[in-house]
C-alpha cells in the first residue's frame, strides 16, 4: 500500500522490542499503527521481494497482521500469507520458501498480549544482535513516501508441514500409543491433527478449539498448575503419554503415564540420544540451565555435548557454526538442523513417541536412567542492583569453578547453580541442581539469603 508510514514513537518501541521478539499488550502497547511501521521496516531491512506471514488465534492478530502486511506492501514487498499457523509452521514456511518471515504471536503470554517474531530467509534468527535493533531504528524513522505495489496472497502449507514433521521418524515403527494432547486453545489444535491424522496413535485433543482468550487455562505448560487437567486426563483414560503445548505450539512438555511432568531437560536428553542414533556421532547443543544429565546422556550416546547461552538466536547461530544436528533448552524449545535449525514442539513430541514405541516400556521407565538429579526449578527474585548482587554471590563462592557465559554459573562438583538476569525485568533467575531434594533446599536457602 503506497502512502506515508508514520514513525513508531521511541517510547512505544522501547516498551515492545525485547531481546528476541516484539511483544506487548494490545492495543495499549502494540497497536496496528506500530505493526504497520514494523512491517515496513522489516521488509526494507530484509532486502527481499517477498516475505511470509502467519498469525496465531489471538483476536488482535487479524488487525495486526493486516497492518503488518500493509507496511510490507508499502515497501514494495509481496506478502505470502499462510494464515493461522503455529510458530514452527511459520519457521518451516520461511525455510521451505527461503524467505524472511513474520509470525504474529505472544506465545504463552495472557490473552491481552500479542507480538511479532521475525526471521530471515531459511528461518535465520532475528534478535537484538541480529537485526531487530536495526529494524526498530528504521521503524522509528517512518517514511514520507513509499514504493507501494506489493501484493498479498494466501498459501496453505499445513499439509506440506505435516509431511515434513513426520519425516523425522520411522512411521512404520510407531506403536498404537494412547496419547492425550492439551493444546490449551492454542495453535496446537490446528497443526497437531494434520500431523497425527495418518499415524497409528489413539489420540485425544484437549481444549483443541482455537480461542485466544484461553478460556480453560493459560497456554504456558512450563507452569505445573497448567498441567493439572492433562495429568488428570492421562490417568482417567490410561494414556501412555500426555503432551502439553504452549499458545503458538513451538514448545512442548510431556507427562508420563502416571501423570507426572517430564522436565525439558529429560526430553532434551531423550531426543538428543535419538538424533545421535539417526544422524551419527557429532555435536549436540544444550543450554546452560539444562540438567547435568543432558551432557552426560549426549556423551554416553557418542555425541559431543556443547553448552550454550539461553535463547533461540544463540542456539541457532551455534548450530550453524558447529554443524550440530540438535539442540535443546530446559524451557521446552527443541531445535533440529534438518528443520532449518528452527525449534519445533511437534517434531520433538513425535521423536519422543517414536522412542516410546520402540522401547515398549512405560515412559517413566524409559526416562528413569536419565532422571539423575534434583533441581530447584527456576526461582525469580526481584533485586535492586543486578550487577552488585552477582558480584556478591560470585565472591561468596570463589572456591568453586565459575563462568560468565550467561549470568553467573558456579560448579561445586556435586551441586551447581546458574544466576541469570532477566532480559526484560529487574529479576535474577536462579536454577540449581544437586544430588537430592534436601541438598537443593539447603543450597537454595543459602543463595537466596545473598540476594536480599
Catalytic residue among 46, 60, 70, 107: 107
List the Cα angle 270/166/202 in 5-degree steps.
Answer: 80
Q: Where are the alpha helices (DSSP H) in 47-198?
A: 61-74, 87-97, 133-141, 158-166, 188-196
Q: What is the crossing angle of helices 386-396 and 437-451, to 10°?
A: 130
Contact criterion met (CB below 8 Å) for 101 and 119: yes
Read off the C-alpha cell for 318. 551455534
**CA–CA separation, 311 and 332 (whole Å):** 11
**CA–CA separation, 286 and 308 (whole Å):** 6
Q: Which residues of 169-208 are buried (b: 16+ CB within 10 A; e: fewer)?
A: beeeebeebbbbbbbbbbbbbbbbbbbbeebebebbbbbb
Q: What is the crossing angle of helices 345-359 and 87-97, to 10°?
A: 100
Q: Which residues of 343-354 are buried (b: 16+ CB within 10 A; e: fewer)?
A: bbbbbbbbbbbb
Read off the C-alpha cell for 54. 502467519
**CA–CA separation, 268 and 305 (whole Å):** 12
Read off the C-alpha cell for 357. 514405541
- Cell 538466536, residue located: 313
Pairing assessment for the beta strands 304-308 and 427-434 based on DSSP bridges: unpaired
Contact criterion met (CB below 8 Å) for 233 and 239: yes
Per DSSP, the three-state class of 343 is strand
107 as an active site residue: the answer is: yes
SS3 breakdown of the chain: % helix, strand, coil, rounded to 5?
40, 25, 35
- Per DSSP, what are the bridge partners of residue 25? 113
Read off the C-alpha cell for 251. 514448545
**CA–CA separation, 353 and 87 (whole Å):** 21
Helix and strand tally (H, E) in the chain? 15, 23
Just list the catalytic residues: 107
Amino acid at each position: 500500500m503506497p502512502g506515508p508510514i508514520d514513525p513508531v514513537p521511541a517510547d512505544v518501541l522501547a516498551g515492545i522490542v525485547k531481546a528476541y521478539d516484539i511483544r506487548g499488550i494490545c492495543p495499549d502497547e502494540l497497536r496496528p499503527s506500530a505493526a504497520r511501521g514494523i512491517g515496513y521496516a522489516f521488509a526494507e531491512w530484509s532486502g527481499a521481494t517477498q516475505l511470509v506471514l502467519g498469525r496465531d488465534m489471538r483476536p488482535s492478530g487479524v488487525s495486526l497482521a493486516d497492518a503488518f502486511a500493509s507496511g510490507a506492501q508499502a515497501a514494495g514487498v509481496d506478502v505470502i500469507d499462510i494464515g493461522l499457523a503455529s510458530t514452527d509452521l511459520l519457521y518451516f514456511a520461511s525455510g521451505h520458501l527461503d524467505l524472511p518471515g513474520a509470525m504474529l504471536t505472544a506465545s504463552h503470554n495472557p490473552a491481552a498480549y500479542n507480538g511479532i517474531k521475525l526471521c530471515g530467509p531459511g528461518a535465520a534468527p532475528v534478535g537484538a544482535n541480529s537485526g531487530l535493533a536495526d529494524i526498530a531504528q528504521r521503524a522509528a524513522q517512518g517514511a514520507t513516501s513509499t514504493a507501494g505495489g506489493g501484493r498479498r496472497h494466501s498459501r496453505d502449507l499445513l499439509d506440506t508441514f505435516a509431511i515434513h514433521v513426520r519425516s523425522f521418524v520411522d512411521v512404520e515403527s510407531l506403536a498404537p500409543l494412547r496419547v492425550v494432547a492439551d493444546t490449551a486453545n492454542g495453535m496446537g489444535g490446528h497443526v497437531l491433527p494434520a500431523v497425527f491424522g495418518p499415524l497409528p496413535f489413539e489420540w485425544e485433543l484437549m481444549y483443541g478449539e482455537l480461542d485466544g482468550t484461553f478460556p480453560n487455562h493459560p497456554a504456558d505448560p512450563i507452569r505445573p498448575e497448567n498441567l493439572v487437567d492433562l495429568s488428570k486426563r492421562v490417568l482417567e483414560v490410561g494414556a501412555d503419554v500426555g503432551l502439553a503445548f504452549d499458545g503458538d505450539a513451538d514448545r512442548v512438555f510431556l507427562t508420563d503415564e502416571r501423570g507426572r511432568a517430564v522436565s525439558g531437560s529429560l526430553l532434551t536428553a531423550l531426543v538428543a540420544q535419538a538424533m545421535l542414533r539417526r544422524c551419527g556421532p557429532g555435536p549436540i547443543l544444550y543450554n546452560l540451565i539444562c540438567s547435568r544429565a543432558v551432557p552426560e546422556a549426549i556423551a554416553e550416546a557418542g555425541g559431543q555435548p556443547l553448552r550454550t547461552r539461553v535463547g533461540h538466536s544463540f542456539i541457532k547461530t551455534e548450530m550453524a557454526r558447529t554443524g550440530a544436528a540438535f539442540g535443546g533448552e530446559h524451557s521446552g524449545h527443541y531445535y533440529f538442523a534438518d528443520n532449518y535449525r528452527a525449534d519445533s514442539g511437534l517434531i520433538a513430541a513425535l521423536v519422543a513417541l517414536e522412542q516410546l514405541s520402540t522401547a515398549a516400556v512405560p515412559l517413566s521407565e524409559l526416562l528413569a536412567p536419565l532422571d539423575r538429579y534434583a533441581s530447584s526449578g527456576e526461582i525469580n527474585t526481584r533485586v535492586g542492583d543486578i550487577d552488585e548482587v552477582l558480584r556478591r554471590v560470585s565472591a561468596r563462592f570463589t572456591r568453586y569453578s565459575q563462568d560468565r557465559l550467561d549470568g553467573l554459573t558456579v560448579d561445586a562438583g556435586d551441586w551447581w547453580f546458574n544466576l541469570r538476569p532477566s532480559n526484560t525485568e529487574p529479576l535474577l533467575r536462579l536454577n540449581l541442581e544437586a544430588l537430592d531434594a534436601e541438598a537443593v533446599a539447603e543450597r537454595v536457602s543459602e543463595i537466596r539469603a545473598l540476594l536480599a
